[in-house]
Amino acid sequence: MHDEYLGPERAALKAEVQRYVASVPSSLLLEMDKEEVVYPRAFLEGAARERLLGLRFDPQYGGRGLGWVDEVVALEEMGALGSSLSCLYSLVSIVGEALHRFGTPEQKERYLSRLTSAVYTPAEGLTEPRGGSDFFGATTTAIRDGDSYILNGQKRFVVGAEGADVFLIYARTSQTAHPSQALSAFIVERDHGVQVEHIYGLMGTRGGGAGRIKFSNTRVPASNIILGEGQGSTVFHQMMIPERLTTAAGALGMARSALEIAASYADKRRAFGKKIREFQAVSFKIADSITLLDAARAMVHYTADAVDKIGGSGHTRRLVSQAKKFSTESTWTVVNNAMQILGGIGYTDVYPVERMLRDSRIMSIWTGTNEIMDLIIQHEYMKEHAKPSPTARDVEADAIHASSEEKVYE
């Protein structure tokens, strides 16, 4: 995105993040992809030194007090490093959101300050072995025992399972309440007794220590509950903003990187006596990719601006879902287009496009599959549609037989 559009302050932030991203050695990405690095703590510590973690949070707790539009600018730049590092970077924003919005002063001081300084690194547990998208069907339990809760259960696909210090965990505190009132959110320290049961071998997005964790009579201080018993639903719905908007913004950086590689290659590679960019089969793929990327970026920025201005609502819930779905699917298409433009060499490890293809595939699955996004989008739109503006034109009346008896609905 052009700096003229961003304005001087956001352009300066973009340049800050770009400098940090440029400083990350290629060897780290390669070692993570080969799973020689399981959890790159030094990457987060470096970002903390540059005050790039938790940009939206109060400066009192190590943030910069910025907005979502600022954060998506930073996230796009982080996306150039691939989905694993951009995800680990985003987790400070995601887990920190629960503390930022709902935490007590004591919780913010103990945890949020340490997340933004990378003294603690975060992870979250949403998915369970017996359920994926059915979040409210979680079976992990938290039973009150004096001034503690005793947790039992498992969470899977936890990015950072192998290396994180603190986990945001949702557990059932009631077996009789409605599912939306039965869950509670906790900050669980690794030292409380988090057991790593399995580390996954992933197609892409490697090196983030993604695994399955287990709680076996894990004792967590009652002071570590977020917002109170039965408030997990409130925390979860707020958390879906950073969950999905960080994915949408990070995907832009990967798509942009793939497009830049493909465009550069098309301008250098010659076949049949001319540059391959002069063939419509190639140039139109570049044009389609540019258009998708710009459209996805516009949606992400519009959504971020809406969240900054009106906060969480049914409308922003729809926008966030649309941004996540459209950005991740656009990224998948752009990366595929890049590989097609490079041809056979793109399928090798001579270029990073093959890694980008593997990395980008997860984005339409995690933080809520894009099919779940579809459900949310239509659901929230239909709620808005049921409340038409009293000043809007009734366009259904603009037909010759608008009042016809042919309009039969049952």
Q: Report the chain (410 residues): mean pLDDT per 10 consecutive residues.
A: 86 97 98 95 98 97 97 98 97 96 97 98 91 77 97 95 96 89 96 93 95 97 96 94 96 98 98 96 98 98 97 91 98 98 97 98 94 96 91 92 86
pLDDT of residue 403: 83
pLDDT of residue 210: 94
Domains, the chain, with CATH or none: 3-120 (1.10.540.10), 124-230 (2.40.110.10), 233-385 (1.20.140.10)
pLDDT of residue 133: 66
How many residues are present in the chain? Answer: 410
- Enter the tokens of residue 161: 């399972």
**Nearest residue to 161 (alpha-carbon basis) of 249, 87, 107:** 87
- Enter the tokens of residue 391: 């000043």
What letters, b where the CB count within 10 A reaches 16 and e where it falls short, cover 124-146? bbbbbeeebeebbebebbbeeee
Contact 327, 248 (CB under 8 A): yes
pLDDT of residue 135: 78
pLDDT of residue 138: 86
Q: Would the pTM of this model clear 0.75, i.e. be above it?
A: yes
